Amino acid sequence: MNKKKLLLMAALFLGGIVRGQITQRNWLVGGTGSFYSYNDDFTATGQTTVTGKLTEINLDANIGYFFVDKFAAGLRPGITSIKSHGANSASVLIDDTKICIGPFARYYFLNKDKQFNFLIDGSYQFGSYSNFGKGTTQNASIMVGPELFFNSSVGIEFLFGYLYQKKIKDAAQNGYEYMKKGFNISVGFQLHLIKD
């Protein structure tokens, strides 16, 4: 391929990148995937605290609405898979899946006519899990990062921030409670749908 054709293709591609629809009365539909690695401090009644190393993969969808320019809010359902690494009593038996849902809100900082934008996203989710009996889980996160718009409807985002999780198992089922917190990275695609 000669240089002229390569330059023409690059110009066409870059020319196709236009602003995202982050204006009032538009819809935001998309999803993210994240990888989370952490140390887990596990405490059960009558036992000493044990630390284990775990890996977690989160898949979250979202559907939101731009109530005003650059600000969207909505619901975010998610599913999480947790796997353990190591051979201590805190981590060797963990192979868990949890399902949760909750509200989210996000704000875009730059003008709406930009080919990329920076955003802040906060969410809270409540759900259930069933590792060695049933329990509840709560997630809260605050994330920041850029979103690059491929065209007026599709963007890819790279977010990083802080994730806090808390799990509670019923005392009637050998109850316990533990918390996880740490650095989180996610990558997601968003569809910005124009309301006609």
> Whole-model pTM above 0.85?
no
Overall average pLDDT of the 146-167 stretch = 91
Q: Which pLDDT score, from 0 to 100, does residue 102 have?
A: 97
Range of the domain at 171: 3-193
Q: How many domains does the chain have?
A: 1
Residue 103 near residue 74 (C-beta atoms within 8 A): yes
Question: Residues 184, 143: contact at Cβ < 8 Å?
Answer: yes
Given a cut of 60, whether residue 1 has pLDDT beyond it is no
Q: According to the model, what pLDDT value does residue 131 have? A: 64
Q: Please, are residues 141 and 164 in contact by the beta-carbon 8 Å criterion? A: yes
Residue range 79-114, pLDDT digits in tens:
988 777 654 444 445 677 889 999 999 999 998 878
State how far the Cα of 67 lies from the Cα of 73, in Å rounded to an integer.
8
Whether pLDDT at 151 is above 50: yes
Question: In angstroms, rounded to a whole number, what is the distance separating the alpha carbons of residues 158 and 129?
Answer: 28
Distance CA 111, CA 1 (A): 37
Helix, strand, coil share (%) of the chain residues, nearest 5: 10, 65, 25
8 A C-beta contact, residue 186 and residue 22: no
What is d(CA 15, CA 12) in angstroms, rounded to the nearest whole number? Answer: 5
Question: Residue 107 is part of a domain; what is its CATH number?
Answer: 2.40.160.20
What is the pLDDT averaged over residues 176-187? 84
